[in-house]
Amino acid sequence: MGSRLGSWVDERLGWPSAIRRTLRQTVPRLSWGHVLGSATLASLIILILTGILLSFSYVPSPDQAHATVEYITAEVPFGAFIRNLHHFGASALVVLSIAHLVRVVVHGAHKYPREFTWFTGVVLLLLVFAAGFTGSLLPWDQNAFWATAVRMQVIRVIPGIGDRLAGLLMGGNELSAVSLVRFFIAHVGVIPALIVTVVVVHLRLVHNHGISGVPDRGE
């Protein structure tokens, strides 16, 4: 019964066969640096899960945002742990993403035939930066407000598009309730959806071309 059910699912979805092919794939000589990709993915999963939990209690409005953050920290069961895990996990994701890309360059894994794998990795790093940028405003305290205001001034000096880009992000000429809502939607909806999509493509490319091993000393 189990084997027939497995065959039925495999014929329609193809997942069991894909998983078996992945598990049977030949793995080249690796180093400890190769765990950085898996560690980055693990950090991303933790951030998504903790972000979902935090969003249940967070209210993106100027008069309630900071109060709900304090409520999460002080009143919600394990709220302080979840918030700290999300906060420090974000820093870990940035560090691990950069370290992973550096490892790829050092080992030459960005060269043929893995150019598109490298490109999707760079896009993911930019999306990680964007997620950190939009999330920094959500506590809506003095540090979050003025740090974001300074970043907006930096964006304004971008030639040609600076003012329009800053206006698009803030929904006006200064930080306001509209800005907070836009940052919240980008942080919990738009950017995570883009990250998950690019991660799926990235992992598919890694599966297609295999893992690049440690180069021989003679290379």
**Dihedral (C-alpha) 31, 34, 39, 42: value to the nearest 10 degrees?**
-130
Identify the pLDDT of residue 107. 86
SS (H, E, C) the chain: CHHHHHHHHHHHHCHHHHHHHHHCCCCCCCCHHHHHHHHHHHHHHHHHHHHHHHHCCCCCCCCCHHHHHHHHHHCCCCHHHHHHHHHHHHHHHHHHHHHHHHHHHHCCCCCCCCHHHHHHHHHHHHHHHHHHHHHCCCCCCHHHHHHHHHHHHHHHCCCCCHHHHHHHHHCCCCCCHHHHHHHHHHHHHHHHHHHHHHHHHHHHHHHHHCCCCCCCCCC
- The residue assigned the tokens 């999306």 is 127
What's this model's pTM, rounded to 2 decimal places? 0.87
Question: How many percent of the chain have pLDDT more than 90?
Answer: 72
Identify the pLDDT of residue 8. 75
In the chain, domain spans: 33-209
Note the pLDDT tens digit of each residue in 127-174: 999 999 999 999 999 999 999 999 999 999 999 999 999 999 999 999
pLDDT: which is higher, 164 or 204: 164
Question: Residue 216 above 70 pLDDT?
Answer: no
CATH class of segment(s) 33-209: mainly alpha
Note the pLDDT tens digit of each residue in 71-126: 999 999 999 999 999 999 999 999 999 999 999 999 888 888 889 999 999 999 99
Note the pLDDT tens digit of each residue in 7-59: 777 777 666 776 676 666 666 667 777 889 999 999 999 999 999 999 999 99
Q: Which amino acid is at 15?
A: W
Question: Residue 2 above 60 pLDDT?
Answer: no
Structure tokens at 40: 């980055």
Identify the pLDDT of residue 80. 97
Nearest to 189 by CA among 121, 124, 135, 108: 135
